[in-house]
């Protein structure tokens, strides 16, 4: 039996800045980029979802923007359902990985302090959407439908976080 995904058997592989193809309808893949991978919370990654949709197996040489964010697990890449692409040159601010989890604010897998009420309003809560929810969320984004089913208004907080700490794609011409 051959391995369906070009993902090595080790969990230690850093996927940050790699393109990911998430299958959607009619043989198209939503092009996403891994913006953060936790070394403390096993398999947790943050995907930046782009507006780009390409046929299966094709990846852009560069991305211009990310339209939304979602936290999910890296195991679905290992399973072969999502496709691992090549790395892209992108600058990601260190503040971008700031999360609230287990009663503390975390930045890059380090607990910083307990959150204030203002922090709870402005900093995303650590969560892990499953493969189905990620696919549905991408459908919501592409169709323009309101995403009322997305858990605890996470999208609004994460998109506000994206606006505060922009991601810069470095294009070499």
Q: Show pLDDT as tens, one digit a residue, over the chain (173 residues).
A: 223 344 444 455 788 888 898 988 778 888 999 988 888 887 888 888 888 888 887 877 777 788 888 888 898 888 888 888 888 888 877 777 888 888 899 888 889 999 999 988 888 888 788 888 888 888 878 876 554 445 444 555 566 556 665 666 665 54
Closest by Cα among 20, 128, 26 to 81: 20
**pLDDT computed for residue 131 by the predictor:** 85
Backbone angles phi, psi at 5, to 5 degrees: -115, 140
Other beta carbons within 10 angstroms of residue 75's beta carbon come to: 15
Tokens of 106: 């975390």
SS3 127: coil
Per DSSP, which regions of the chain are E strands?
A: 18-23, 28-37, 44-55, 68-73, 83-87, 90-91, 99-101, 104-107, 110-113, 168-169
**pLDDT computed for residue 144 by the predictor:** 65
Quote the distance between the C-alpha of residue 168 and its chain's center: 15
**pLDDT computed for residue 170 by the predictor:** 62
Closest by Cα among 89, 109, 93, 98 to 19: 89
**pLDDT computed for residue 10 by the predictor:** 41
Predicted structure pTM score: 0.77
**pLDDT computed for residue 173 by the predictor:** 40
């Amino acid at each position: 039996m051959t391995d369906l995904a070009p993902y090595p058997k080790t969990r230690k592989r850093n996927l940050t800045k790699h393109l990911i193809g998430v299958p959607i309808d009619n043989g198209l893949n939503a092009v996403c980029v891994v913006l953060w991978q936790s070394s403390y919370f096993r398999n947790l990654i943050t995907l930046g979802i782009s507006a780009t949709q390409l046929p299966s197996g094709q990846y852009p040489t560069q991305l211009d923007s990310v339209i939304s964010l979602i936290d999910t697990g890296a195991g679905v890449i290992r399973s072969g359902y999502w496709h691992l692409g090549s790395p892209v040159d992108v600058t990601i601010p260190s503040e971008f990985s700031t999360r609230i989890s287990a009663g503390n604010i975390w930045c890059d897998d380090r607990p910083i302090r307990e959150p204030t009420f203002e922090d709870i309003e402005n900093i995303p809560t650590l969560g892990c959407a499953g493969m189905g929810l990620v696919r549905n969320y991408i459908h919501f984004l592409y169709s323009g439908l309101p995403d009322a089913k997305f858990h605890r208004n996470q999208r609004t907080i994460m998109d506000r976080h994206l606006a505060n700490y922009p991601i810069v794609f470095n294009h070499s011409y």
